[in-house]
Amino acid sequence: MNSNVNRIELSGIRKFSNKVAKVPGAISLTLGQPDFPVPKRVKEAMIEALEQGKTVYTSNAGLVELREEISKYLESFGISYDKEEICITVGGSEALFTVFTTLIDRGEKVLIPTPAYPAYENGVKLVGGEVVNYKLNEDFSLNISYLEEAILKSGAKYLLLSFPTNPTGAILEKTQLNALKDLILRYDLMVITDEIYSALCYDEYHSIAQLQELKDRVIFIGGFSKIFSMTGLRLGYFCVNKKLMDDFMKVHQYNVSCATSISQYGAYVGLRECLRDVEYMKSEFLRRRDYVYGRLKAMNFEVNLPKGAFYIFPSIKKFNMTSEEFCELLLEKKKVACVPGSAFGAGGEGFMRISYCYSDKELERALDLIEEFIKEI
């Protein structure tokens, strides 16, 4: 067995959602799967592609017309990558692994925020890298001083950013952008920015990938799972400066050859014709965010207003239980499942993650039950 495999664990999110499956009648707010169907035109395009026999390999980097559409789409966020700088992957997950495998040598250190999406720490460890956690502000926004401290202490050369953030809903604030840029240049960092939720930003959007002067040192990761509600169709991408693409392509090519052809045809039409559906989903998530936030506040949870994605991360510290104990008990007593914050690393202990990409009815019922639960404990 590869010794790196022993350094990592099965995902705490999945572990918990699997437990829920065994509790009949439980309401699960554990997964990041939007409750909307795939936009109609995306579905039609995939059916058409299938009927036309477009079931063969695409080029390794993915359909050129899709890469051109991604390039235009990113331009609307102020991010410039041309089609040669984009590689279509099997979900954002493959993009993360291809990037980690290409960049990180055994023993090299990677700065990862805590709490964070668990694939970062585990992916880095799997390729033999070392994780250096950096702390965030109390509202989970980036704290430049904490980050600098972690750089100085560790000498790490890779920085992972993730905005809007799973599990906290934090975004990159305009005021942090320049200081972050200075830090990246001063310490000669290579940056991986996972922005799979960039379409779901409820406040002004800012990204380190918007800064042209950092183009050589930023790798951007995006995906279609969330924007087109197509998690099972497994489509994502990464963008990297042309000069570096060949090296990344080696890893991607030998790993998956190419992403699924049918999904690529769907996403192509999605970017051309379905951005209004995305706007609709976003407005729905925003409404649900306000509802869930309002309910949690009314229950006196300490909680930050998420500014992106579809997760909220209230503190459960005052209940004097670990996050795992709290979520286990909530599931046992009220049949409501939320993910223990500890599934997102050391910085997540004392919190739980609620996904609010579920129906109004489920959210309302689950929050009623959470309200009953905290009165009882």
Instruction: Please identify, using beta-carbon distances, which residue of 225 and 264 lies nearer to ligand PMP.
Output: 225
- Report if residue 339 touches ligand PMP, rule: CB under 6 A: no
Contact 12, 18 (CB under 8 A): no
- CA 102 to CA 347: how far, in whole Å? 27
Output the smallest distance, CB 145 to ligand PMP, in A: 24
Among 123, 223, 308, 340, binds ligand PMP (CB under 6 A): 223
Instruction: Please identify, using beta-carbon distances, which residue of 29 and 295 lies nearer to ligand PMP.
Output: 29
Single-letter residue type at 148: E
The verdict on whether omega for the bond into residue 24 sits within 30 degrees of 0, i.e. cis, is no
Among 62, 123, 236, 348, binds ligand PMP (CB under 6 A): 236
Contact set for ligand PMP, span 3-62 (CB under 6 A): 32
Residue 207 tokens read as: 């990204």
Instruction: Please identify, using beta-carbon distances, which residue of 194 and 277 lies nearer to ligand PMP.
Output: 194
**Residue at shortest CB range from ligand PMP:** 91
- Report if residue 118 touches ligand PMP, rule: CB under 6 A: no
- Report if residue 338 touches ligand PMP, rule: CB under 6 A: no
Instruction: Please identify, using beta-carbon distances, which residue of 166 and 176 lies nearer to ligand PMP.
Output: 166
Among 39, 62, 91, 306, binds ligand PMP (CB under 6 A): 91
| Matching residue, tokens 């950013």 | 161
Q: Which stretch binds ligand PMP (CB under 6 A): 104-112, 145-153, 223-231, 324-332?
A: 223-231
- CA 113 to CA 110: how far, in whole Å? 10
- Report if residue 355 touches ligand PMP, rule: CB under 6 A: no
| DSSP run (H or E) holding 73 | helix 64-75
Instruction: Please identify, using beta-carbon distances, which residue of 277 and 334 lies nearer to ligand PMP.
Output: 277
Among 17, 210, 231, 322, binds ligand PMP (CB under 6 A): 231
Q: Which stretch binds ligand PMP (CB under 6 A): 3-11, 88-96, 325-333, 351-359?
A: 88-96
Output the smallest distance, CB 362 to ligand PMP, in A: 19
Among 225, 261, 263, 342, binds ligand PMP (CB under 6 A): 225
Contact 166, 117 (CB under 8 A): yes
Q: Which residues of 356-367 are buried (b: 16+ CB within 10 A; e: fewer)?
A: bbbeeeebebbb
Collapse the DSSP code of 318 into the 3-class scheme (helix H, G, I; strand E, B; otherwise coil) and give the result. Answer: helix
Q: Report the DSSP pairing between strands 109-113 and 158-162.
A: parallel
Instruction: Please identify, using beta-carbon distances, which residue of 12 and 92 lies nearer to ligand PMP.
Output: 92
- Report if residue 263 touches ligand PMP, rule: CB under 6 A: no
Q: How far is CA 59 from the centre of its chain?
A: 26
Output the smallest distance, CB 188 to ligand PMP, in A: 26
Contact set for ligand PMP, span 264-323 (CB under 6 A): none
Residue 310 tokens read as: 């579809």
Q: Which stretch binds ligand PMP (CB under 6 A): 90-98, 123-131, 248-256, 262-270?
A: 90-98
Contact 256, 95 (CB under 8 A): no
User: What is the separation, in whole angstroms, between the first and last Cα of the chain?
Assistant: 44
Q: How many residues bind ligand PMP (CB under 6 A)?
A: 13
- The vertex-221 CA angle with 260 and 255, nearest 5°, equals 45
* Contact partners, residue 310, CB within 8 Å, separation at least 6: 32, 34, 169, 197, 200, 226, 285, 288, 289, 355, 356, 357
Collapse the DSSP code of 43 into the 3-class scheme (helix H, G, I; strand E, B; otherwise coil) and give the result. Answer: helix
Draw the binding track, 160-189, toward ligand PMP (x: CB under 6 A; -: no contact). --x---x-----------------------
φ, ψ of residue 308 in degrees (nearest 5) = -170, 180
Q: Tell me, what DSSP letter sits at residue 212?
A: G
- Report if residue 358 touches ligand PMP, rule: CB under 6 A: no
Binding positions for ligand PMP, rule: CB under 6 A: 32, 91-93, 117, 162, 166, 194, 196, 223, 225, 231, 236
